[in-house]
Structure 1
Amino acid sequence: MAEKIQVEVAYALPHKQKIVAVEVPEGTTLLDAVRLSGIEAEFPELVLADAKFGIFGKAVRDAEGEVLRAGDRVEIYRPLIIDPKQARANRAAKAAKG
């Protein structure tokens, strides 16, 4: 029988955030842990096939192949609404006006 490890799965919207602690078997992949967390039920608009993922702020390219370690925090990222460079330029232009 595989040992169990504790991981967390986190997702946030501007108006609602959730971190779910999950006990999973050693060798569980990032995507499997997200599914096991049940976080999709909390956020029906979340489409895992389109989502980007990370572990402690570091982007993960292969969610199906990334094996988790005890204590990892899986983060599910929302798509950007605006390019960060453009947002900075907009703020600078607004500040210059006044």
Structure 2
Amino acid sequence: MSEPLRIEVVMAWPDRCQSRQLVMGEGATVADAVAQAALDTADTVVAYAIHGLLASAQQVLRDGDRVELLRPLLADPKENRRRRANAGS
């Protein structure tokens, strides 16, 4: 019999962070972890990452994985760089 997986699911905002520690069975996916974590973020998540690398909802998890729920960007990073570059001219 396989060992259970220890998974963390996190969601961060500029002023706070929500996190859940989970114990899941072998074969659990990102979608399974998000559902089990039951964070109040379902309408704001646009993508998932595991340890900072983009992941799909069907990706199988490994022990110690940290699933990050990604929010939409508030500003376009390219536009912000352009604006800063133009301000310095």
CA shift for structure 1 position 35: 1.0
- Identity level (%): 36
Give unmatched runs, 5+ long, in structure 1. none
Residue of structure 2 equivalent to 1:16:
16
Find the counterpart in structure 1 of residue 77 from structure 2. 84
Count of aligned pairs: 89
What is the one-letter code of the residue matched to 1:85? Answer: K
Q: Which has the higher helix share?
A: 1
Give a deviation string over 1:66-94, Cα, whole Å, max 9, x none. 01000000011011122211111112223
State the Cα RMSD in Å.
1.9
Offset, 1:26: 1.2
* Aligned counterpart, 1:75: 68
Structure 1 counterpart of 2:39, one-letter code: I
Structure 1 CA distance for aligned equivalents of residues 82 and 26 of structure 2 = 45
Report deviation, 1:38.
Answer: 2.0
**Structure 2: how far apart are the matches of 1:82 and 1:34?**
26
2:35 matches 1:35:
yes
- The SS at the match of 2:15 is coil
Letter in 2 for 1:47: D
Instruction: State the Cα distance separating 1:51 from its structure 2 match.
Output: 2.2
What residue number does 1:47 align with?
A: 43
Instruction: With the length of structure 1 as denominator, give the TM-score of the two structures.
Output: 0.78
Residues in 2 aligned to 1:73 and 1:19: alpha-carbon distance in whole angstroms: 10
